[in-house]
Each structure stands twice: as C-alpha cells, then as structure tokens.
Structure 1
Amino acid sequence: MLPSTAPYQLLLRPSSNRAALRRLQLQHIGLLPRSSTTTTITTGTTAASSLSLRKYATTQGAAPKRRNVTVLSDDGRYEWGELSGREKVARATQQSVNFVVIIAGAVLTGGVFYLLFTEVFSPNSKTWQFEKAVERIKDDARCTDLLGDRREIKAYGENTWSRTSVYQDRLGREHLKMNFHVEGPLNSGTVFVHMMKPLNEHHWEYQLLALEVPGHSRVVLEEAREKPGVGQALKIFGIKWR
C-alpha cells in the first residue's frame, strides 16, 4: 500500500520545501529514517507559518500616516505639543486670521446697528421726525376734514430725501427742513416741516408744521413765536440773523 499523499500536498505549496520533498522520497524507498523526514517537514512548515504570521501582524499593526498641519487643513485634532515648528506657525496664523475675521464682523455689526439707530430709531433722525409729523397730521381734526379718514391717509416723501435738508445758520443752530406728500380719500396735499435745535440743545423744536391742500386755506399745526428779548438780541443793523 502506498503512503498517504497528505505530506506531499503540504510540501507542494511553498517552493522552499523542495528539499524536504526529496527527503520524503528517499524515506519512502528506505534510504532515510522516517523520524528525520517528519521533523524536517514539521520544522519547515512551522517556520513558514511563523513568517506569514509575522508579516500579517506587521501589516495590520501599522499606524495610519499622520497628516501634516497647514493653515487650511488644521482642524485642531493634534495637541500643541505634537506639532512641529512649522505646524505651530500654521496654527498661530490660522487663529490670528480667525480673530481678525471675528473682530471685523463685530465692527461691521456695530456699524449697522449704529446706522439703524441714527437714521431710523433716534429721535433726531429724519425718519423719526417724518413719522412724528405724519401722526400729527392724522391726529388733527382740521387735516382729516380736508384729507378724509385718518386710517386711509398715506404719506410719502420725495425720492432719496431730495426735499429734505439739514444746515446750520450763522449762530450755529442746526435746522431741518422737510416737505412730503399726503393723500387721503378726499384730497391730497403737501406738508411743510421746519425744525431747529437751539444752541446747547440736543432735541428738535418745531418752527413750522403746516398742511397745504390745493383750493383750501393753509392749516398751521405748529409755528414758533419769537421769545421776548430774543428777537432784539439777534437783530443787528435792522437785519434779523437766523
């Protein structure tokens, strides 16, 4: 009976076991003892298996390659102590840029809020005074008799405030003049506004607030009266300076 071919199958796989195959053949014809051949086969197979396991462990245990840190790729995953000198410069640059962007955004936001306050919400703004004058027109019975129901009165100014002006007189007093249109279910008209800030004051005072509707008498809601003594103090050589 021929011996089992299992040892041959084991030795046919690795090319390095050709010598062991030769010894097995010699063993079969009685020229070598069986114990020597078996030991050689076992040792060769074990060595090959150990080498394969070491290669597998080395391949599987290799750590992933560390990515370089740059200004654009830094995501903060590495601690400061893990960075090289160049990478520390990159992180410092990135943080400086972020800081500048935050400051610029804060300044821009503050500027927008300041502009909104000074141009819309401040009592000294033209928008505020426009809305205030419109409410005065709607609340005056003489105006609603000419224009109609106050709830249907609409007011609109000139394009780009071309009919609004702010200036100072020779005495340093600030003046605001504004004209705008009003329209109601009965008639349409024009509102004239003249306001002034007295010296060392921060609020506007009406010099004139009037409504003119074509075909009707002028309705005067506010008209400043000269204070006693003020007119004489400001009148020089017969000329009244305003």
Structure 2
Amino acid sequence: MTFTEGASYSVFILAGLGIAAAAGYAVFKELLFEPKEYKIFGKALDRIKNDSQVRVRIGSPITGYGQESRNRAARQRIPNRVWTDEDGNEHIEVNFHIRGPHGSGLVGAEMFKDKVDKQWKFVYLIVEIRSPSPAKLLLESYVPA
C-alpha cells in the first residue's frame, strides 16, 4: 500500500511541476518576446506620429490603443489578422484607434515580411480621421516593382 501511495503522490507532484513549467514558459515568452502584431502596431504608430498631416489634424502627442472601451484590457488588445500569401510571405493586418488633443481617428495597416531583406514593409497604412473634421489619409502604399 505504501508503494501505491508514493507512486500516486509522485504522479501529482510531476503533474504540478508540468503545469508550473508551462505557466513559467508562457510568462517568459510574453515578457521577453514581443508578439509580431505589437511590432506592427508600434511601427505604424511611429509612422503616424511623425506625419505632419496627422499632427495638424488631431494634434500632438498622439496615442494609439486597441478598442474604444473603459476596460484597460480591451484598450491594450490590438485587433489583428495573420496569414501567409501564396508566395510564402507572412502578412499581418492591424486595426487600432488614435487620439490627439484635438481629435481622434482609426488606423488600418498591413505589413509583410520581405523574404529578400527579412524586413517588415507596409502594404498600406490608412488613417481615417473622425474628428474634428473627417478625412482619409493614405500614408503608405506598396506597389511591387
């Protein structure tokens, strides 16, 4: 009976260690490796912050966030879509909100990872200003050579 009890305790201990290791890996991965969609969000937001047309319309500083909500988690979650095209290039599309002291807007951006130089390049970057006066701005557009 003691061998059976010891074996059953060992199974529970190993299962607990496995769950702890999986949780530790998830935290480690989340803290040290930035997800691709957040890299794309950052690149798009930097491009928007440096654009004079956007700064004139909504002011500066410009902030970006995921969804219109009072919920902090919803604001931090960036809606995105990831896929691979027929040539094997990885694409990421993000949609997010921007706000400045004088107005706000929506952003749609798509980037792909070029196989040749391994860099992320914009397919498009569109800013739709909602207030104070509606406008659509095409900041980036990729046309293959």
Q: 1:176 aligns with which of 86, 92, 97?
A: 92
2:71 corresponds in structure 1 to none
Check conservation: 1:156, 1:182, Cα contact below 8 A.
yes
Q: 2:34 aligns with which of 121, 124, 144?
A: 121
- Aligned counterparts of 2:66 and 2:53: Cα–Cα separation in 1: 21
2:18 corresponds in structure 1 to 103
Q: Quick check: which one's helix share is greater?
A: 1
Q: Quick check: which one's strand share is greater?
A: 2
* Cα offset, 1:216, TM superposition: 4.2
Q: Match of 1:95, as an amino acid?
A: S
Q: 1:144 aligns with which of 39, 55, 63?
A: 55
1:73 corresponds in structure 2 to none
Aligned residues, how many?
135
Distance 1:165 1:93, change over 3 A: closer
Distance 1:168 1:134, change over 3 A: same
Percent identity of equivalent pairs: 25
- Aligned counterparts of 2:15 and 2:66: Cα–Cα separation in 1: 41
1:117-156, Cα deviation, whole Å (9 max, x unpaired): 69x714xx21232133223222333321211121xx3323
TM-score by length of 1: 0.45
Check conservation: 1:173, 1:196, Cα contact below 8 A.
yes
- Aligned counterparts of 1:88 and 1:141: Cα–Cα separation in 2: 75
Structure 2 SS opposite 1:206? strand
Q: Any residues of structure 2 matched to 1:145-160 within 5 Å, and which?
A: 145-150=56-61, 153-158=62-67
1:41-88, Cα deviation, whole Å (9 max, x unpaired): xxxxxxxxxxxxxxxxxxxxxxxxxxxxxxxxxxxxxxxxxxxxx434
1:224 corresponds in structure 2 to 142
Q: Match of 1:157, as an amino acid?
A: G
Check conservation: 1:142, 1:219, Cα contact below 8 A.
no
Check conservation: 2:37, 2:78, Cα contact below 8 A.
no
- Aligned counterparts of 1:212 and 1:225: Cα–Cα separation in 2: 21
Distance 1:104 1:202, change over 3 A: farther
Structure 1 unaligned runs (5+)?
1-85, 228-242
Structure 2 unaligned runs (5+)?
69-73
2:80 corresponds in structure 1 to 164
Tell which deviates more after alignment, 199-208 or 102-111: 199-208
* Cα offset, 1:183, TM superposition: 1.8
Distance 1:89 1:191, change over 3 A: closer
